[in-house]
Amino acid sequence: MRKTVALGMTMIMTCALAACGNKNAADTSTPSPSQVSQEAEDSGAGGKEASAPSQEVIKLRYADTCADINPDGWGNAKFIELVNERTNGQVSIEYFDRCSLGSDKEITQSCLDGTLDMCKCTSGNLTEFSDGLAIFDLPGLFRDFEHARTVVEDPEMRQYFIDDIYQETGLYAMIFEFDEPRGLGTTGKEIRTPDQAKGLKLRTTGAPIEMALFNQWGVSSIAQSMTEVYTSLQNGVIDGAYNQAYILNQESCSEVIDNWVQFNQSWCLSVKFMGPTAIEKLGGVDSELFKTVLECAREAETWQAEQWLSFVAESHKDMAEKYNVNVVKLTDEELEVWFDESHAIWDQYVGEGKQFSQDLVDKIQKLAKE
């Protein structure tokens, strides 16, 4: 199903390994998705003002890999709550979290097979089904969080990605989620430039674009699941891991690293999808019920993005103060060196006859300037 992504098509209509952590969250007033789902099932309506549904309840099965310990899980709770309220309980979402029904790829396949109605998949894992979001894994494409959000909130760009995936797979993207770019957590010396990283042994997901980037930096890599990283860092099997700060904290890896530096190169996009069965149950993409659920998803996405900003800042603070990690702050000049290194591999992926069209890359980069 893979194909070159190009914007020339006519418009008609979101680490790489999923973290399945099972750690307890800090206290929060936001209810867990599982709690919201159960409350909706028990009450049949959302809130005191909602009236009892006059029609048969539409039950949707939704699976994710996340837990209720960060804005990913909180955003699911918000979405489920909004759907219950806005449909007066007519749509009930049964939620399965923490990889309870499988990995990204497994729950996406289940959604395509019709045993699930909704699922989450990262852009990297989605390539097994569609290349519609593969462009988001190109390093150095986004300048910062604001740029990344601008791209998925731009009406034309958003609809392009939605249509591309929907036409190819039947999955309809509801929520586009960015957390924070991956950073480099290392033992030993402080790393500020790619030259200082040469010779390091880093954990890799094995994704081709990540491997090309590591080759550009001059590092060697060892493919590992996230559950192996702590022990490998502790025993010197690897010198570092290219991951988000909050993931290193959640997996206790911050206990054994000395330094962490973020340089805004590799962003992880997760997308929540409605599958063909959900669309059919709601009456099709032109139905009012489908549009209501989609509106709830967009509102939850906006709320979730705001939560990520404060959550990421707190994760960096915890890494420095709780785990005594040296959180490196790069100068603008040092940051540009990392962008130059990322752009050096673009010739392998961008251009006529390659994976990504130059036109698409240009449109995305232009949005950083507007």
Q: Is the confidence at residue 43, as pLDDT, over 50?
A: no
pLDDT tens for each residue of 260-274 = 999 999 999 999 999
pLDDT tens for each residue of 51-85 = 344 579 999 999 999 999 999 999 999 999 999 99
Average pLDDT for the chain: 88
pLDDT tens for each residue of 100-121 = 999 999 999 999 999 999 999 9
The structure's pTM equals 0.84
pLDDT tens for each residue of 171-203 = 999 999 999 999 999 999 999 999 999 999 999
Q: How confident is the model at residue 88 (pLDDT cuts 50, 70, 90)?
A: very high
Phi first, then psi: give them for residue 319, nearest 5 degrees: -60, -40
- The residues, any chain, with a CB within 8 Å of residue 24's CB and separated by 6 or more, are 69
Q: Give the Cβ contact number of residue 313 at 10 Å.
A: 12
Q: Is the confidence at residue 13, as pLDDT, over 70?
A: no
The more confident residue out of 185 and 13 is: 185
Q: CA 63: distance to chain centroid?
A: 15
